[in-house]
Chains A and B, each alone.
Chain A
Amino acid sequence: MTDTLKGMRRRTLLKSGLAGILATGVAPLIFTRGAYAQEFCNAPTGDTVTLGFNVPQTGAYADEGADELKAYELAVEHLNGGGDGGMIPTFSSKTLKGSGILGKKVAYVTGDTQTKADAARDSARRMIERDGAVMITGGSSSGVAIAVQGLCQEMGVIFMAALTHSNDTTGKDKKRYGFRHFFNAYQSGIAIAPTLGKAYGTDRIAYHLTADYTWGWTQEESMKNATEALGWKTIAPVRTPVGAGDFSQYITPVLNSGADVLVLNHYGFDMVNSLTQAVQFGLRDKQVNGKQFEIVVPLVSDLMAKGAGASMKGIYGTANWDWQLGDDASKAFTKSFGAKFGQPPSQAAHTSYVQTLLYADACERAGTFYPPEVIKALEDYEFDGLGNGPTTYRGADHQCFKDVYVVQGKQAPANPFDLLQVVDVASKDAVTYDPAIFGGELGPDTPAMLIVDVLISNPGGRFSR
């Protein structure tokens, strides 16, 4: 042994050391990443593939979060061959057979975003680094979705956004690794304007109360543009903090503002509170400028309609989907969800379920979990049979294009779940726009963060071929 050591020179030692490093398999990750196309964050190695469900379990959007989680559980059950399969049989793509994804059983981990961007990033990072999630999905709140989408782009993990409605998610903040099935504020404005024109006329003065973050701002701008095109005027909008609880001090100035329409750019519990309080203030019984005062909630869901109760009756809004749509896919999903949870699914639940199926299908079609290939499979993909009719996942901004529904709070519900009715449908063509209007760059399909950086900063992260 001593002889051997004596005989070894520095040059020999270096040579053998390098050979040793190469042999361990660590080196290719560091030096030759491009040469190994199958290296990526959290590539599934065993019999299972782990998905990360990142939803608000507390905070202003917790109701939506709870429903999203139910939908994810259902999607996992159906992907693994359980239950009645939900929308898998109606889906135009026939790659999903109930045998997991690419033969691997689907497992999942969950996180609480708390409806806060930093908490959401932390929980997404935890699911990626500790739990080995190969895909992150969830919402609600566009602020959260944009923050998590940015993280996923850095980490090279696909983010299938659930409930996020800001134009920015697939506009100025769009990312190559982020995909959105849900519609956006711009499409809401385009869809609802003709209905508002018919119902309330073209000579109206609107007052906006707006949630003070990315979604509220883009929703307000989209509604302002769409209604001003009708001939409406807009009073300077008022921004309100998210989770304010009591909105009364923002509602009292509406009473004598000269406005005859109140547009509530609020969502979740905020919308339930602001709408209920606005109705308590007698706004809907008022006559202003010789017209009946009206309230509009551009983005509305069943859960909010349930929370707002009688205040919601007759109020117009838009929705991505409604459980009472008559197509086979919607019926199949409602049946499956209703039987399991004793309530119909909300639009948040629907988009979460659909996004999970779309990811699974894209992996099957790509034949791999390798994100750049899955991204290619999703970009410009055309599909049907998931409840929204023919739909396109546009490659230029990763936004889905499909019909948008104009809904109204039902005056005489037939059952406790019969809260909204679809009164108009804006066609896919009508709500399709030029991706250039919102700017933004998708970025590369290889993650921005070098794998070597991750290895140094995050020794616990799982990387494999």
Chain B
Amino acid sequence: MEALLAQLLNGLDKGGAYALIALGLTLVFGTLGVVNFAHGALFMLGAFCAVAFRQLITLESITIDPDQLSPWGTPLEIKTPLAQTWFGEWGSFIVEYSVPLSIVFAIPVMLLIGIAMERGLIKHFYKRPHAEQILVTFGLAIVLQEVVKAIFGANPISQPMPSALQGAADVGSWLGLAPNMVTYPWWRLTYFVFSIGVLSAVFAFLRFTTFGMVVRAGMVDRETVGILGINIGRRFTIMFGIAAVVAGLAGVMYTPLVPPNYHLGMDFLVLSFVVVVVGGMGSLPGAVAAGFLLGILQSFASMNEVKSILPGIDQIIIYLTAVVILLVRPRGLLGRRGVMES
């Protein structure tokens, strides 16, 4: 029971990341009809927004103290973060909370990157076949990751989480179980809550604003919305920017869990495509449901009891699910009738 609860929690935080990335991917497909293979790179760029922000605020001044010696006999270099020098305690707070604070930095940056990507490259491929869209966006993803590699290097750069969110919460005791039976890291719980928050915000935006209503109408029938005199293209461009922000935020908050490197996007790209296919191409609730479903399935497949019966199942469960879905229900769990079924 406790073991199942722990794996379920683990599935929820993994699922949160999958759902956030897949939501943006399916949003772009649903609005612009583009299969965006550069979407994983947007997740990676988001993570590097956090890295860049931290590097910016931890720029150090180096002073040499001739009275103290390093272990190998040279004068000791003392490094002080400039933020601390300038802002004192407030500066150390900024340094400690750099990951959550970099959300503020990442939102405009990712919005701009998204819009630039759509206006600069992807709009030229709307009328081209899907195969060409995939090729060009995949190429873009490689270019972006090489740029990040050139700037930040190839190695993972770890991002510390705030000390208040280190350690684990006794989730079991909240549910009336014995103390310390089911513990779960605070940051992973935060990630899950954060992903629910972002997902809700996107859904609320689409459901309760006029802008969102027009976008939803455009997703159903772009031509009619256009005939009504609405510049649907511009709205879709903004939606592309929003999809980039969602992927970027997923990346920012992911950095304390796994130190990001330039390859992070590719690791998530295939996964998020599987999520979209399982959920249904173009279906927003489908992407979210499939994200959490696959996260939980992957987590349960990693249990020893399961692995002892089916060795290696933890590595293939996601793809196995996709194969079954494509065979049994090609349009995906919540996909529209007719999509991928013709």
Contacts and interface: CB of A to CB of B under 8 A. Distances in A.
Contact of A335 (B73, B185, B267, B304): B73
B155 A62 contact: yes
Interface in A302-316: 307, 309
A295 to B, nearest CB: 14
B13 A335 contact: no
Interface string A88-112: 0000000000000000000000000
A339 interface: yes
B2 A255 contact: yes
A314 to B, nearest CB: 16
Nearest to A340: B72
Interface string B293-337: 000001100111001100000110000000000000000000000
A248 B315 CA distance: 14
Contacts of B148: none
Contacts of B74: 338-339
B180 A287 contact: yes
Contact of B10 (A236, A249, A276, A280): A249
Name which of A66, A252, A277, A338 has the most chain B CB atoms within 10 A of its CB.
A252
A371 interface: no
Given A256-B2, A281-B185, A63 B155 contact: yes
Nearest to A282: B168
Given A344-B71, A415-B71, A236 B168 contact: no
Interface string A283-311: 00111000000000000000000010100
A307 B157 CA distance: 9
A282 B183 contact: yes
B216 to A, nearest CB: 34
Given A246-B258, A256-B181, A241 B315 contact: yes
A334 B71 contact: yes
A253 interface: yes
Nearest to A336: B72
Contacts of A417: 71
Given A273-B259, A280-B187, A252 B7 contact: yes
Given A287-B180, A339-B72, A256 B257 contact: no
A272 interface: yes
A309 B256 CA distance: 13
A256 B168 contact: no
Contacts of B13: 248
Nearest to B70: A338
B168 to A, nearest CB: 3
Interface residues of B, number: 43
B61 interface: no
Given A241-B315, A246-B14, A253 B2 contact: no
Contacts of A452: none
B213 interface: no
Interface in B1-26: 2-3, 6-7, 9-10, 13-14
Contacts of B315: 241
Given A249-B298, A338-B71, A58 B154 contact: yes
Given A57-B154, A255-B182, A272-B158, A334 B72 contact: yes
Contacts of B182: 255-256
Contacts of A307: 158
Contacts of B226: none
Interface in A326-357: 334-339, 342, 344
B7 A269 contact: no
Interface in B256-277: 257-259, 267
Interface in B137-161: 154-156, 158, 160
A433 interface: no
Contacts of B197: none
A286 B184 CA distance: 12
A238 B13 CA distance: 22
B54 interface: no
Contact of A339 (B73, B156, B267): B73
A31 interface: no
B39 interface: no
Contact of B304 (A236, A287, A342): A236
A252 B167 contact: no
Contacts of B155: 58, 62-63, 66, 269
Nearest to A341: B72
B166 interface: yes
A286 B180 contact: yes
Contacts of B308: 236
Given A238-B307, A287-B180, A248 B298 contact: no
A338 B304 contact: no
Contacts of B73: 335, 338-339
B264 to A, nearest CB: 8
Contacts of A324: 71
A83 interface: no
A286 B183 contact: yes
B134 to A, nearest CB: 25
A256 B183 CA distance: 10
A245 interface: yes
A256 B3 contact: yes
Given A249-B299, A253-B304, A307-B158, A285 B71 contact: no
A285 B7 contact: no
Contacts of B307: 238
A253 B185 contact: no
Interface in A160-191: none
Contact of A245 (B2, B258, B298): B258
B302 A249 contact: yes
A235 B166 CA distance: 28
Contacts of B167: 280, 282, 285
Contact of B72 (A58, A255, A282, A338): A338
Contacts of A246: 14, 257-258
Contacts of A58: 154-155
Nearest to A276: B158
Nearest to B17: A246
Given A248-B13, A256-B6, 12 more contacts: A246-B14, A248-B14, A252-B6, A252-B299, A253-B303, A253-B304, A269-B156, A280-B168, A285-B180, A335-B73, A338-B70, A342-B77
Interface of A: 57-58, 62-63, 66, 235-236, 238, 241, 245-246, 248-250, 252-253, 255-257, 269, 272-273, 276-277, 280-282, 285-287, 307, 309, 323-324, 334-339, 342, 344, 415, 417-418
12 contacts: A62-B154, A236-B308, A238-B304, A245-B267, A249-B14, A257-B304, A269-B259, A282-B183, A285-B168, A287-B180, A335-B72, A418-B71
